[in-house]
Chains A and B, each alone.
Chain A
Amino acid sequence: MKHTISILAASAVLASSQAAMAQTEIEFWHAFTGRLGELVAEQVETFNNSQSDYTVVATHKGNYSETLNAGIAAFRAGEQPDILMVFEVGTATMMAAKGAIKPVYEVMGDGFDQSKYIGSVKGYYTSPDGDMLSLPFNSSTPVLWVNRDKLEEAGIDPDTDLSTWEQVGSVLDQLKDAGVDCPMTTAWQSWVHLENFSAYHDVPFATKSNGFDGTDTELAFNSPAQVAHISAMGEWAQDGKFIYAGRRNEGGANFRAGECALFTESSAGYAGINAEAEFDFEVRPLPYWEAVASEPQNTIIGGASLWVMEGQSEEEYQGVAAFLDFLSSPEIQAKWHQDTGYLPITSEAGELTRSQGFYDANPGTDIAVIQMTAKEPTANSKGLRLGSFDQIRGIIDEELEAVWAGDKDAQAALDSAVERGNALLRRFEQASR
C-alpha cells in the first residue's frame, strides 16, 4: 500500500512537471502600440488558445529603432528573445550578424513551402539563394492618395488620369492656378521618391543588386533618372506646388485635414485616412515618369519582419516554427491585411480576401497588392540590403531638404548623399567583415 502511494505520488509529480514543461514559453518583442498593438495581442492570444504546447509572450519594446536596440543589447547580455521584430532597413544589420540569428527557413525545417509567400514581399528578406531569412510581418508599399473634393473645387475632373508624373505635373499647375495652398505633399521622402522610385523605374539604387550580392555595394541613386525626378520635385517645391512637411509622415496630418490634394504615402495609411478624412478620397497607383520607363516595374515594401534569434533550446524553436506557421495561415493573414491595410504575405491570403468581398466593399485597397505583384521583381526592384541604412536615410533627408529649400540643385544634393552614404557603407563593410 505504502509502495503504491509513493508510486502514485511520484507519477503525480512527474505528470505535473510534464505539464509545466509542456508550456514552452516563446518570447516575442515587437514595436507596435495602439490599434496595431491590440491586433498583435489578439493574434498571440488566438495562437495560445489554439494549442497547449507553447505560450507566446509578446512584449512591446518601443518604436522600431528602440526594439532593434533592445534586441541587440539583450543579445550582448545573453538574454535575447526568441523572436525579434526588425524594420526593413535593419535587414542588412541582422543578416550580417551571422552568430546572432537563425534563418527562418532553417527554423521551419524541411516541410517549409517558401513558394506560397508573395515574391516581392519575401524578396526583401531572402538570401541570394532565395531562402527566407526572416518572416515578413507587416509590409506596405507607397501609393498616391487623392483628395477628390479638392480636385473638383479646383475645376479638375476627379477621375483625371494621374498614372504618370507628367500628368501629375500638369494637374499641380492647375491646382496652383486655382489657388490651392497644398497641391501635393509626401511622407517618407527617401522611401517613396528615391528607394521606390528606383525600383519602380527599374534603375539601381545601389550597385551589387542594391546590396543583395555583397556588402561591398555602393550607392547609385545619383543617376539621370533620379536626378530628373528630384529636380522636378525641387521645382515644384520652389513654386509652392509640393509642400514639404517633414522627414517622417508629418504630411499625413495635412492630407487628412483636407488641405492637400495629392499625397504620396504608404498603403498602410488607409486606417488613419479612412478614420479621419471628411472628404471623398481615393487610392491611385504611384505615378511613374513616362520619359524614363514605358511602363512601371513593381514597387518595394516598407515595414518589418520577424527574426529568430540564435541561442535558444530545440523546443523553443519548434514553438517558434509553430507560431510563424500560424501567422502565415490564410485566415490570420487575411484578417491582418483587412484590419491594418498592410499587404498579405501569402497569395492565398490575398485570394481569400478577394473571395470574402473585401476589395469590392473597400475600393482601392487592392491597388497596393496589384502594384507590388503585377511584375516579377528584377535585381533593381527586389528590395534594398544596405548597412547603416537608417542613418543613410537621415543623410538623404538632409540633402533633399537642401533641394526643397533651394540651397542645392538635385545633382549636387544626390552626389553629396551618395558620397556621404558610401562612407557609412564602408564602415559597415569593415564592421561586418
Chain B
Amino acid sequence: MEKRVTFKGIWLPLLLVLPQILITAIFFFYPAGQAIWQSLFIPDPFGLSMQWVGLGNFEYLLSDRYYRASFVTTAIFSILVTVVSMGVALYLAILADRLIKGSGTYRTLLIWPYAVAPAVAGVLWLFMFNTRVGVVTWYLGLLGYDWNHVLNEGEAMGLVVVASAWGRISYNFLFFLAGLQAIPRSVIEAAAIDGAHFWTRFRTIVWPLLSPTTFFLLVVNIIYAFFETFGVIHTITSGGPQQATTILVYKVYSDGFVGQDLGSSAAQSVILLVIVSLLTVIQFKYIERRVHY
C-alpha cells in the first residue's frame, strides 16, 4: 500500500516547493537560457556589439572536423574514467567490507583523495610523470621504458584518465561500501551454507542487490567525466599532444576564455547540454530496467 500525503488547495504545496523551483530557475534555467540565446550570436568579447547568426555557430562547429573528432575523444575518455574509477572502487569496497579489524582507518584513508581539488591532483600526477624530473618516469626509465606523454598521444590519454579517476575512486568507494553493508548478512550466510562460493554469491546476490548504487554511480561518473575533469586536463596536457586529450568541455573553455569567442563557446555548451540530457534519458530508460530496487 502506498503512503500518500494530500494537501488541500494549491498554495501551501506551491509555497513548499518554491525554494527549490527558484534555485533551479536562477542557477539552472537562467544560465542555460542565456547560453542558448548567446549561441545564436557572434558577440565581441567586451559586449560592445552582437551579430545575429542564427544557427551559424552550430554550422561552423559541426563542419569543423577537429570538433567532431573531439566527440570521439570525449567518449573514450568518459568510458575509461568511469570504468577505471568504478572498477577500482568496487574492488576496494569489497575488500574493506570483509575487514574485521581497523576498517575505520582503511575507510578514512581511502576517502582522503576525494578532498584533493582536481587541478591539484593534476599537478601531483604531472610531477610524478614529468618527462624529465618525474619519479615514475625515472623508474620506468630504469625498466627501459621511455615515458613521454608530451608527444605520445596514448600515454597522455592514460595519464589524464588515471589522474581524473583517482580522486573519484574515493567517492565511488563510499557509495559501494554503503551499498555492500546494506546487503543483509543473513542472505549471504544462507547462500554460503548452501555451498555457494564467493564468486557465485557475488554474481547472484551482491551484484543484483548493489545495482541501484552502481546505476547511480554510472550516471554521476559519466557527468563527472564530461564536466568536472577540466582542471586535470588543463594542468596536465592542455588538450595535447596534438588534440589527443581535447574533450568537449575543454574546448568550451579554450574557445570562450582563450579565444574570447563567446558565440562558439555558448553553442558548444548547448551541444553538451543536449548530449548529457540524452545520455541521462537513455540511462534511465534502458539501463534502469535492469536495476533491482
CA distance A93 to B48 in the complex (A): 12
Known: A65-B257, A427-B261. A100 touches B51 (CB 8 A): no
Distance between A409 CB and nearest chain B CB, rounded to angstroms: 15
> B231 to chain A: which residues have CB within 8 Å?
none
* A76 contacts the other chain (CB 8 A): yes
Distance between A397 CB and nearest chain B CB, rounded to angstroms: 7
Q: Contact at B60–A427, with CB atoms within 8 Å?
A: yes
Query: Which residue of chain B has the shortest Cβ distance to A71 in the bound complex?
Result: B46
Choose one: B43, B131, B152, B259; the contact of A390 (CB below 8 Å): B259
CA distance A428 to B259 in the complex (A): 9
Q: Number of residue pairs across A and B with beta carbons under 8 Å?
A: 92
* A69 contacts the other chain (CB 8 A): yes
* B45 contacts the other chain (CB 8 A): yes
Choose one: B48, B255, B257, B259; the contact of A97 (CB below 8 Å): B48
B232-253 to A contact mask, C-beta < 8 Å, 1/0: 0000001111110000000000
Q: Contact at A391–B51, with CB atoms within 8 Å?
A: no
* B12 contacts the other chain (CB 8 A): no
Q: Interface residues of B: mostly helix, strand, loop or mixed? A: loop
* A154 contacts the other chain (CB 8 A): no
Report the stretch among A116-124, A246-254, A294-302 that lies at the interface: A246-254
Q: Contact at A398–B150, with CB atoms within 8 Å?
A: no
* A244 contacts the other chain (CB 8 A): yes
* A292 contacts the other chain (CB 8 A): no
Distance between A390 CB and nearest chain B CB, rounded to angstroms: 5
B137-151 to A contact mask, C-beta < 8 Å, 1/0: 000000000000011
Q: Contact at B44–A432, with CB atoms within 8 Å?
A: yes
CA distance A423 to B57 in the complex (A): 12
Choose one: A257, A394, A405, A431; the contact of B258 (CB below 8 Å): A394
A231-272 to B contact mask, C-beta < 8 Å, 1/0: 000000000000011110010011001010000000000000
CA distance A100 to B44 in the complex (A): 11
Query: Which residue of chain B has the shortest Cβ distance to A100 in the bound complex?
Result: B46
A70-109 to B contact mask, C-beta < 8 Å, 1/0: 0010011000000000000000010011111000000000
A278-316 to B contact mask, C-beta < 8 Å, 1/0: 000000000000000000000000000000000000000
Interface size on B, residues (CB 8 A): 33
* B167 contacts the other chain (CB 8 A): no
Q: Contact at B64–A423, with CB atoms within 8 Å?
A: yes
Q: Contact at B260–A401, with CB atoms within 8 Å?
A: no
Interface residues on A, range: 35 or more
* B132 contacts the other chain (CB 8 A): yes
Chain A positions 158-200 with a Cβ under 8 Å from a chain B Cβ: none
Chain B positions 13-44 with a Cβ under 8 Å from a chain A Cβ: 42-44
Query: Which residue of chain A has the shortest Cβ distance to B63 in the bound complex?
Result: A423
Query: Which residue of chain A has the shortest Cβ distance to B65 in the bound complex?
Result: A420
Query: Which residue of chain A has the shortest Cβ distance to B44 in the bound complex?
Result: A431
> B60 to chain A: which residues have CB within 8 Å?
423, 427
CA distance A407 to B242 in the complex (A): 10
> B122 to chain A: which residues have CB within 8 Å?
none
Choose one: B42, B48, B64, B240; the contact of A247 (CB below 8 Å): B240
Q: Contact at A388–B260, with CB atoms within 8 Å?
A: yes
* A433 contacts the other chain (CB 8 A): yes
Q: Contact at B42–A427, with CB atoms within 8 Å?
A: yes
Q: Contact at B46–A75, with CB atoms within 8 Å?
A: yes
Query: Which residue of chain B has the shortest Cβ distance to A388 in the bound complex?
Result: B259
> B43 to chain A: which residues have CB within 8 Å?
431
> A72 to chain B: which residues have CB within 8 Å?
45-46, 260
Q: Contact at A430–B64, with CB atoms within 8 Å?
A: no
Q: Contact at B47–A76, with CB atoms within 8 Å?
A: yes
> B112 to chain A: which residues have CB within 8 Å?
none
Q: Contact at A253–B132, with CB atoms within 8 Å?
A: yes
Choose one: A96, A257, A390, A404; the contact of B44 (CB below 8 Å): A96
- Chain B positions within 8 Å of A, measured between CB atoms, are 42-49, 51, 60, 64, 66, 131-133, 150-152, 238-243, 254-255, 257-261, 263-264
A-B contact pairs, 23 of them (CB 8 A): A72-B260, A75-B47, A76-B46, A93-B260, A97-B45, A99-B48, A245-B150, A247-B238, A250-B150, A388-B260, A390-B258, A390-B259, A391-B259, A398-B240, A398-B242, A398-B243, A401-B151, A405-B151, A427-B263, A431-B44, A431-B45, A431-B51, A432-B44
- Chain A positions within 8 Å of B, measured between CB atoms, are 65, 69, 72, 75-76, 93, 96-100, 244-247, 250, 253-254, 257, 259, 388, 390-391, 394, 397-399, 401-402, 404-405, 407, 420, 423-424, 427-428, 430-433
Q: Would you list the 6 A-B pairs with minimal beta carbon distance, nearest first?
A: A391-B259, A100-B46, A401-B241, A97-B46, A76-B47, A388-B259
